[in-house]
Amino acid sequence: MAEQSTERLDPADARPERLRVFLVDDHAMFRAGVRAELGAHVEVVGEASTVAEAVTRIAAVGPDVVLLDVHMPDGGGRAVLEAMRRTHPQVKFLALSVSDAAEDVIGLIRAGARGYVTKTISPDELAAAIRRVADGDAVFSPRLAGFVLDAFAARPDAPVADPELDQLTNREREVLRLLARGYAYKEIAKELFISIKTVETHVSNVLRKLQMSNRYELSRWAADRRLV
């Protein structure tokens, strides 16, 4: 009779491997909350509060999925995506933001994010979204999916792209969006943690790039593209 093995399998061996997740957000308290909420579902392997930190640390740890805030003082999620997508194409990015503005959703997807969810999402839903993105699916909060569908429907035979919008930097887009919402230069400076002089420089650059002469033309242009 063949001898039976007495070796027992560790129950942990049968569990699916936990996904390695990296957090990028400029608010430490929010990162701490996400880390605590996701602790039972994924392995949080690192975090960063700036674009420069994110690029360096993501390259070092090689996570499966990066949870990425859209707006940060030094450039935001799109800057991280643009820096990482060519050198680390295997890393998946899921935007997690308070913003539900159409231009933010389209901008991040155009830059290479696999999904976009708002910070009202529950911990279980977020864990499921991370798993789906890691598996190659696209994930959106329900209302935000419409922005992507509308963008494709507008030009069904072409990629989602806007040459005029694409020539603007992330910061110029942020300034333009606030300008179109009626913010004064002083209010924009306070909102983005920059000087009034810097706001004036960004507005001047946007006017030059878009070949417009005043903020009212910019506001109409932004409204036409649902940037407001």
Distance of alpha carbon 181 from its chain centroid, rounded?
Answer: 22
How do the pLDDT tens digits run along the chain, 228 residues long? 444 444 444 444 444 578 999 999 988 998 999 999 998 889 999 999 999 999 999 999 999 999 999 888 777 888 898 888 778 888 999 999 888 777 788 788 888 898 899 888 899 999 999 999 999 888 888 777 766 666 555 554 444 456 777 788 878 888 888 888 888 999 998 888 889 999 999 999 999 988 888 888 888 888 777 676
Q: Where exactly are the structural domains of the chain?
A: 20-153, 165-225
Q: How far apart are CA 64 and CA 174, in angstroms?
A: 29
CATH for 20-153 is 3.40.50.2300
From 44, 35, 115, 40, select the one nearest 77 (Cα to Cα).
115
Per-residue pLDDT at 197: 92
The answer to whether 20-153 and 165-225 have equal CATH topology is no
CB 35 within 8 A of CB 47: yes
Per-residue pLDDT at 83: 86
Whether domain 165-225 has CATH 1.10.10.10: the reply is yes
Per-residue pLDDT at 108: 84
Per-residue pLDDT at 228: 65
β partners of residue 44: 21
Per-residue pLDDT at 162: 65
Per-residue pLDDT at 103: 77
Q: What is the largest CA-CA distance in the chain?
A: 92
Per-residue pLDDT at 147: 67
Count CB neighbours of 43 within 10 A: 13
Per-residue pLDDT at 151: 58
Token readout for 110 is 């155009």
Q: What confidence tens digit (pLDDT) does each residue in 64-73 have?
A: 999 999 888 7
Per-residue pLDDT at 156: 47
